[in-house]
Structure 1
Amino acid sequence: MQITEIDTLGAMREVLNSPEDQQLALFRERVMEPLRPTWENLLRYLTGGTGDYPALAAARTMKLYLPEMGREQGLAALDTLERERVQQDNLAALQRAVAVLKPAEHGISLPEVRLAVTLASPDGLGEEGYTGAGNTPGWVTLSVWPNSHKLSKLPAVTAHEFNHNVRFQQPDWTFPMSLGAYLVAEGLAESFAAALHGPESLGPWTGTLGLDTLRELQPRFQAALHEQDFGVVRGYIFGDGVMSAFSGGQAVSDLGIPDYAGYALGYRVVQDYLAHTGRTPAQATYDPWRVIAAESGWFTVEGQAVKPSKSQTV
């Protein structure tokens, strides 16, 4: 498998060092165009039209740093990312993830994986200041506004997103995907990242809810496990607050689901599956979601398994 770095940070430096009247056109050409496979489908979900420059509409939706946000602070942020060796560390993390998952040995055809680190807007990604995406086959993208004590967590994000790349090639991952498939995919990605980089490297979303809260939510997830309406599925995974924030404050989900509940429950489900079966996260990446959900002890799937035991711990 070939790993290709897309030097988006270097391109952004070129943009910010160029004359101001050339920056926007150069941003579209040098930063956004190489990333087109990762954002082109996003345009279908944008509201209010994309105008003459769909790439800019996508960049704003993705909370990327734009030239209009200022030359000095943008260059200072790029200097921090370079000094902290963010690109090198995440390239190494991707190489390690590939070596551990061995997708080719499992019939997964990913001849090339592209890694792109992008500069996020200063206030676009909340307190954590970083996010990742692995939903485009052959792409792992990270977006970060440098917050020095969080940069060390980025390799875990890279591992998480590459796990998605592999998992999304599985036979039981079809569109429209079910809530159960999505729930298990997030739990697998976080479990894989934790196995490679330590549980302390994970973001807060997997630990926001305690075991008692997850038990209270379990019947609602059980009832919706085969739901395939993407809007509803995302509401269960991300929660009402996150979905509202993503849509600019519009209440797109009123399920009464806490923020990142799907991540927290998915991680618990996979962790218990691994404990019950002795499988590793890398091995479980190739297991059907129904098997993982049922044998975790959290869900009844097609007549299998029972509700979680009270002896389980977070």
Structure 2
Amino acid sequence: MSITVLDTCSAMRRILLAPMADRAGLLRSMLEPNAGMYRYYPGEVDLVSVHLQTSGFPIDRDEERCLEALDTLEAAGAWERMRRALDDALAVLLEATPGLAVPDITVLFVLGDPADEHFMGPCQGVTGFGGISGNIAITLWPFPENVERLEATAVHELHHNLRWSPGGVVWDPMTVTVGEHIVGEGLADAFARQLYGDELGYARIGVPHLHDDAVFDKVLTGLDVTGMENFTAWVHGDAGAEHLGVTPVGLPMGAGYAAGNRLVDAYLAATGRTAAQALHADSAEIIATTLRRG
């Protein structure tokens, strides 16, 4: 088992400095090692198109701005920091869950698009995806708060990856609920907080509503919702839903993260477990434990 953080720093610099006609090909080559992330997509996937559609850095504009951002990340030691954080976090998870099955994991870390208003605004310049076993993707703009949280962001996605890997919790697209997704976000945040503390460990989008009882109560009404096309509205809120063209449900950005943290914290307090020990905890049990505590 190994965790490979791809050297996207030099690859992105090469892309941004290349003649425009060469950039798509170079970008495709950079993205190819993490193509396994799309193995469940129907049909053939154009990696360049997916990159551009999911707030990845542009290849036809903003070169200087992106090169400056890349310099910021390189100066901060971003790639080395993520490698160390992931290795350290894996050791904690292996100690907490003896016999844990760990796949080889490929981590793709790329700059975001500084002209993408949704990414730079509601998403606060960071998105991550770790739900496909063996693959993690993080897209980031180096706002100071995001650079501070590089390690926490990486281990959040690692927790997702190992929770939903073979031998862990089954994510069945036909039956999975909003509750499972929200609990997963809460557990991943709790794990990041276990390692890096509350100041750095919370996903930024959930922080404004951590103590909002009205938001929490509203999210609870959607826990049994199925159909993954509905999840964005409940997890990321109306801003995320409207960005994807799905029906909003009257929740602020990051509502599901805030509610997930509250559900998980109540469960961990009741059981005395750590987030690492609760890697494969059943979401229904977590929810039930919390609701019993009132």
- Answer with 106-115 or 56-65: which moved more: 106-115
One-letter code of the match for 1:137?
A: S
* Greater relative CO, 1 or 2 (CA 8 Å, sep 6+): 2
C-alpha distance in 1 between matches for 2:273 and 2:98: 16
Give the TM-score, by structure 1 length: 0.82
The CA deviation at 1:210 is: 5.0
Larger deviation, residues 63-72 vs 33-42: 33-42
Report what 2:87 is aligned to.
Answer: 95
TM-score by length of 2: 0.87
Q: Which residue identity does 2:187 align to in structure 1?
A: L
In structure 2, do the counterparts of structure 1 residues 106 and 234 end up closer, same or farther at CA, with 3 Å as the change threshold?
Answer: farther
Which of these residues, 131, 137, 142, is aligned with residue 127 of structure 2? 131
**Other structure's SS at 2:113 match:** coil
Which structure would you say has the larger Rg? 1
Question: In the TM superposition, what are the counterparts of 1:44-83 in structure 2 within 5 Å?
Answer: 54-83=46-75
- 3-state secondary structure, aligned to 1:283: coil
Contact 1:16 1:23 in 2 (8 A): yes
Distance 2:99 2:172 in 1: 17
Among 252, 259, 270, the alignment partner of 1:258 is 252
- 8 A contact 1:163–1:189 mirrored in 2: yes
Distance 2:242 2:221 in 1: 23
114 and 183 in structure 1: CA distance in 2 versus 1, 3 angstrom threshold: same
Structure 1: which 5+ runs fail to align?
45-49, 299-304, 309-314
Distance 1:256 1:105, change over 3 A: closer
- Structure-1 residue corresponding to 2:177: 178
Please give the secondary structure, in 2, of the residue aligned with 1:26.
helix
Identity of aligned residues (%): 29
Change (3 A) 1:20 1:173: closer
Distance 1:77 1:290, change over 3 A: same
**Which position in structure 2 is the counterpart of 1:151?**
147
Cα deviation for residue 221 of structure 1 reads: 4.0
In structure 2, relative to structure 1, the CA distance for the partners of 1:160 and 1:79 (3 Å cut) is same
Q: Residues 201-229 of structure 1: CA distance to partner in whole angstroms, max 9, x if unpaired?
A: 12332222253x335642x4444332212
Report whether the alignment pairs 1:162 with 2:161. no
Verify: 1:281 aligned to 2:283, yes or no: no
**Aligned equivalents of 1:164, 1:192: Cα separation in 2:** 10
For residues 246-282 of structure 1, the C-alpha deviation after alignment (integer angstroms, 9 at most, x for no partner) is: x2xx3x1232222221110110110111112211111
Q: Aligned residue for 2:196?
A: 197
What are structure 2's unaligned runs of at least 5 residues?
none
Instruction: Describe the shift of the 1:56–1:155 C-alpha distance in structure 2 as closer, same or farther (beyond 3 A).
Output: same
Deviations 1:135-154 (A, max 9, x none): 12112222112223430111
What is the CA deviation profile of residues 41-78 of structure 1, one whole-angstrom value per residue up to 9, with x for unaligned ones?
5677xxxxx9xx92232111111112212433332222
Is the CA contact (8 Å cut-off) linking 1:91 and 1:115 kept in structure 2?
A: no
CA RMSD of aligned residues (A): 2.4
SS in 1 for 2:154: helix
Are the aligned partners of 1:115 and 1:141 in contact in 2 as well (CA < 8 Å)?
A: yes
Q: CA deviation at 1:103?
A: 7.9
Change (3 A) 1:9 1:270: same
Aligned partner (choices 224, 236, 239) of residue 234 of structure 2: 236
**C-alpha contact (below 8 Å) 1:103/1:109 kept by paired residues:** no
Aligned residues: 286
What stretches of structure 1 move > 3 A for 4+ residues in a row?
Answer: 39-44, 103-108, 220-224
**SS, match of residue 102 in structure 1:** helix
Structure 2 Cα separation of the partners of residues 71 and 254 of structure 1: 35
Matched with 2:16 is: 16
